[in-house]
């Protein structure tokens, strides 16, 4: 079945530094989504990517969908304490709206 792998599992970042988390799928994806879960909270939708090679930005967050639609990345610049949480990628390969979630990257920030 479809598997979505995400690395790294943990990211410890100095405030002000940049970092990237990566997502890889075993199959070609129709759609990839990114969610953020704050400690003790629930996943919250951040963005959706659909097109091959698509790049979208949300302030300091840059999301990219690979040309082959099998990988994606999230890059955060100038990390702030508000960026703390777990970032999940999730994708589906067919039009059944059934998302497969990656294991997530848990980000901690050193002030």
Partner 1 sequence: DAGVIQSPRHEVTEMGQEVTLRCKPISGHDYLFWYRQTMMRGLELLIYFNNNVPIDDSGMPEDRFSAKMPNASFSTLKIQPSEPRDSAVYFCASSRPGQGKYEQYFGPGTRLTVT
- What is the binding site for partner 1 (CB under 8 A)? 31, 33, 35, 41-45, 48, 50, 88, 92, 96-104
Measured from the CB atom, the residue of 97 and 111 that comes closer to partner 1 is 97
State the Cα–Cα distance between residues 66 and 49, nearest whole angstrom.
10
Least gap, CB of 50 to partner 1 (angstroms): 7
Which CB sits closer to partner 1, 61 or 99? Answer: 99
**How near is the Cβ of 67 to partner 1 at its closest, in Å?**
20
Helix (H) or strand (E) holding 29: none
CB 46 within 8 A of CB 30: no
Tokens of 41: 């909270």
CB of 62 within 8 A of CB of 74? yes
Instruction: In angstroms, give the least distance from the CB of 101 to partner 1.
Output: 4
């Amino acid at each position: 079945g479809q598997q979505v792998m995400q690395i790294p599992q943990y990211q410890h970042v100095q405030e002000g530094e940049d970092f990237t988390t990566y997502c890889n799928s075993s199959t070609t994806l129709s759609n990839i989504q990114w969610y953020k879960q704050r400690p003790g909270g629930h996943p919250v939708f951040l963005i959706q990517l659909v097109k091959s090679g698509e790049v979208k930005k949300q302030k300091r967050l840059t999301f990219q969908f690979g040309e082959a639609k099998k990988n994606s990345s999230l890059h955060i610049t100038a990390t702030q304490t508000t960026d703390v949480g777990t970032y999940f990628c999730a994708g589906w390969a067919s039009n059944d709206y059934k998302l497969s979630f990656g294991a997530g990257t848990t980000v901690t920030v050193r002030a």
